[in-house]
Amino acid sequence: MRAVILPEDWYKEATIFTERLNSIQPLYFCIPYTEDSLIDLKEFVTHLHKTLAKRDVSSAMLILPNYFASGDRIDLWPNMIQTNSTFRWILSIYFSDSWLQVEEELARLDLESNENLLNETHLTCQYQPAYTKLLLLGEGRNCQTYHPGDYFKLDILPIISKMEGNWVYWGHGEGDKLRGYDQLHTSDLLNFHSGNCLNFTLWFTCSTLDRDYPENIALAWYLSGATSCILASPDKVKTDDNIQLSQAWFVVANEARRKTIADVVLEVLVENPVVFGEILSHYFLLGIPWVKGQI
């Protein structure tokens, strides 16, 4: 089951909508929260463990007001990995002041989930051996690779703007840029954005959700409508950790024909809860967590 955690004022309308989606296959249920819950979201979410365990929920989407979509509010966000002694689940964060926006995205997701298509995945990286070697993870898969030795900034930006499917980046990052391809700044990505919406974006890098930037590059990319969801980190993450995480991710995602990106995160975590729990604790998942997770 999938939980949609939302303002109590939306609960009735949202329940009517999700019941329609559930008429074919029971998937969703709604959990309302009061305005007081916004005072301490982390505490509120911990009280949901028993409810979600009873429903066998593996993932949930927490809908927050748009004013939470800011680097200086990241410390108020609950963690992506939610766990206690007996139960684990994945939490994504979705920003909206309108239920209609959420309804439209879930309706589109419902249509796309019935399409038996494998999304193409685009692999990009910074020009360092540790990262260029990761492009080999795309061999034998439905992937396009863009070696940074072959593409400069003005070559890759039009390509990014036309990408469909999934986008993966490895390398260094900061609050206002990805350092690969002669540095891709926030303004570069937004100026070249063509209106396409990617299935998911995975940035295995540091600080793209930097707390010191109210609209950091990861938030700007997601909020522009460029991607249905994004995995990004506000923290410094060791290169070796990102390599290990990426290798495990691609193994799980290769077998994820009917699985969502939230399923992939959870299965990677199960592979080694101690190691991957620590690495994934640096990341957040923003947007719809139930897009197709296969690579």
The predicted-structure confidence for 98-140, as pLDDT tens digits, reads as follows: 999 999 999 999 888 767 677 899 999 999 999 999 999 999 8
Angstrom CA distances, 282 to 58, 204, 231, 242, stand at 20, 11, 10, 11
The whole-number pLDDT of residue 177 equals 98
Which pLDDT tens digit goes with each residue over 78-89? 999 999 878 999
Q: What is the mean pLDDT of the chain?
A: 95
| 236/175 Cα distance (integer angstroms) | 11
Say if residue 205's pLDDT is above 90. Answer: yes
pLDDT of 118 reads 76
pLDDT at 116: 67
Q: Are 291 and 260 in contact (CB under 8 A)?
A: yes
User: Average pLDDT for residues 159-181, to the nearest whole number?
Assistant: 96
Structure confidence at residue 293 as a pLDDT band (50, 70, 90) = very high
Considering the entire predicted model, what is its pTM? 0.96
- For the stretch 112-121, contacts whose Cβ atoms lie closer than 8 Å and that sit 24 or more positions apart, written own/partner, are 112/291, 112/292, 113/290, 113/292, 118/142, 118/294, 119/164, 119/165, 119/166, 119/199, 119/292, 119/294, 120/144, 120/164, 120/165, 120/166, 121/165, 121/166, 121/167, 121/168, 121/295
On the question of pLDDT at 256 being above 80, the answer is no
Backbone angles phi, psi at 104, to 5 degrees: -65, -40
Confidence (pLDDT) at 24: 83
pLDDT bin (cut points 50, 70, 90) of residue 250 is: very high
Average pLDDT on 196-223 reads 96
Please report the domains of the chain, with CATH numbers, ordered by start residue. 2-113 (no CATH), 121-287 (3.40.50.1460)
Q: How many residues does the chain have?
A: 295
Q: Mind listing the pLDDT tens digit for each residue in 8-64?
A: 999 999 999 999 999 988 999 999 999 999 999 999 999 999 999 999 999 999 999
Q: How far apart are CA 40 and CA 193, in angstroms?
A: 35
Q: What is the pLDDT of residue 79?
A: 98
